[in-house]
Structure 1
Amino acid sequence: MTNTFTISDEQRDYSRYDLAGNPFPYSPVPAEDPELYCGQQHVSRVISSTVSSVLATGKSKHLVVTGKYGNGKSHTLKYTRSLLRERDDVIVGYVAQPGEGFVDIYHEFVYDLGFERLQTIAYEFLADVARDETNSYPEDATAMKALIDGGDVLLSEIIPEAIRRLSDVTKFADFARALVHLVYEDTNLYAWQWLTAEGIRYEQRKEMEIHSALDDDTMGVRAFTALKNTLLELGYTAVFVFVDEFESIARLSPKDEQTTLNSIRHLMDQNADGLCMLFGCAPEVWQDVMSEYHAFSERIGQEVALRPLTAEHLTDLIADYLARERIDQPTGNTIHPFTEESLEVILQRAQGNIRQILAVCSRVLDSATEADEAEITTEIVQRSL
Structure 2
Amino acid sequence: MTTDKFEITDEQRDYSSLGLNENPFPYSPVPSDNPEVYCGQDHVANAVSNTVSSVLSTGKSKHLVITGKYGNGKSHTLKYARSLVRDREDVLVGYVAQPGEGFLDVYHEFMYDLGFDRVQELAYEFLAHVAREHTETNPMGALSMKSLLDEGETLLSELVPKAIQQLSDVTKFADFARAIVHMVYEDTNLYAWQWLTAEGIRYEQRKEMEIHSALDDDTMGVRAFTALKNMLLELGYTGVFVFVDEFESVARLSPKNEQATLNSLRHLMDQNSAGLSMMFGCAPEVWQDIMSEYHAFSERIGREVSLRPMTEDHLKDLVDSYLDLASGEGVSVSDIFEEDSLQLILQSSQGNVRQALSICSYTIDDAARRGRANIDAEIIQEAIS
Task: Report the Cα distance in structure 2 between the residues aligned to 1:116 and 1:52, rounded to whole angstroms.
Answer: 28
Aligned in 2, Cα 1:266/1:4: closer, same or farther, shift over 3 Å? same
CA contact (8 A) 2:64 2:279 kept: yes
Q: Which secondary structure state, in structure 1, belongs to the residue aligned with residue 336 of structure 2?
A: coil
Look up the equivalent residue of 1:204 and give its one-letter code: Q
Aligned in 2, Cα 1:99/1:2: closer, same or farther, shift over 3 Å? closer
- For structure 2, list consecutive stretches of 5 or more residues without a partner in the other structure: none
Tell me the equivalent position of 2:269: 268
The farther-off stretch of 199-208 and 370-379 is: 370-379
Tell me the equivalent position of 2:300: 299
Look up the equivalent residue of 2:337 and give its one-letter code: F
Task: Report the Cα distance in structure 2 between the residues aligned to 1:256 and 1:334, rounded to whole angstroms.
Answer: 48
Is 1:19 paired with 2:20? yes
Q: TM-score, normalised by structure 2?
A: 0.98
CA RMSD of aligned residues (A): 0.9
Task: Report the Cα distance in structure 1 between the residues aligned to 2:3 and 2:279, rounded to whole angstroms.
Answer: 55
Task: Report the Cα distance in structure 2 between the residues aligned to 1:173 and 1:69, rounded to whole angstroms.
Answer: 43
Q: TM-score, normalised by structure 1?
A: 0.98
Task: Report the Cα distance in structure 2 between the residues aligned to 1:335 and 1:207, rounded to whole angstroms.
Answer: 67
Tell me the equivalent position of 1:240: 241
Give the deviation of 1:3 after TM superposition: 6.2
Q: Please list, as runs of the form range in 1=range in 2, the aligned pairs for 1:1-385 lying within 5 A after superposition.
A: 4-330=5-331, 333-385=332-384
CA contact (8 A) 2:102 2:218 kept: yes
Task: Report the Cα distance in structure 2 between the residues aligned to 1:216 and 1:184, rounded to whole angstroms.
Answer: 26
Give the deviation of 1:257 after TM superposition: 0.1
Look up the equivalent residue of 2:165 and give its one-letter code: R
- For structure 1, list consecutive stretches of 5 or more residues without a partner in the other structure: none
CA contact (8 A) 1:94 1:112 kept: yes
Look up the equivalent residue of 1:367 and give its one-letter code: D
Q: Which secondary structure state, in structure 2, belongs to the residue aligned with residue 278 of structure 1?
A: strand
Look up the equivalent residue of 2:374 and give its one-letter code: E
Task: Report the Cα distance in structure 2 between the residues aligned to 1:374 and 1:82, rounded to whole angstroms.
Answer: 35
CA contact (8 A) 1:318 1:335 kept: no
CA contact (8 A) 2:367 2:375 kept: yes
Look up the equivalent residue of 1:328 and give its one-letter code: E
Task: Report the Cα distance in structure 1 between the residues aligned to 2:136 and 2:65, rounded to whole angstroms.
Answer: 48
Give the deviation of 1:16 after TM superposition: 1.1
Task: Report the Cα distance in structure 2 between the residues aligned to 1:64 and 1:362, rounded to whole angstroms.
Answer: 30
Task: Report the Cα distance in structure 1 between the residues aligned to 2:241 and 2:383, rounded to whole angstroms.
Answer: 43
Task: Report the Cα distance in structure 2 between the residues aligned to 1:382 and 1:334, rounded to whole angstroms.
Answer: 18
Give the deviation of 1:2 after TM superposition: 5.7
Give the deviation of 1:135 after TM superposition: 2.0
Q: Which secondary structure state, in structure 2, belongs to the residue aligned with residue 229 of structure 1?
A: helix
- Tell me the percent identity: 70
CA contact (8 A) 1:18 1:329 kept: no
Give the deviation of 1:373 after TM superposition: 2.1
The farther-off stretch of 374-383 and 204-213 is: 374-383
Look up the equivalent residue of 2:343 and give its one-letter code: E
CA contact (8 A) 2:183 2:192 kept: yes
CA contact (8 A) 1:14 1:20 kept: yes
Give the deviation of 1:132 after TM superposition: 1.9
Look up the equivalent residue of 1:346 and give its one-letter code: I
Look up the equivalent residue of 1:88 and give its one-letter code: E
Task: Report the Cα distance in structure 2 between the residues aligned to 1:360 and 1:335, rounded to whole angstroms.
Answer: 17
Task: Report the Cα distance in structure 1 between the residues aligned to 2:216 and 2:245, rounded to whole angstroms.
Answer: 22
Give the deviation of 1:24 after TM superposition: 0.2
Task: Report the Cα distance in structure 2 between the residues aligned to 1:308 and 1:17, rounded to whole angstroms.
Answer: 28
Task: Report the Cα distance in structure 1 between the residues aligned to 2:4 and 2:285, rounded to whole angstroms.
Answer: 49
CA contact (8 A) 1:178 1:208 kept: yes
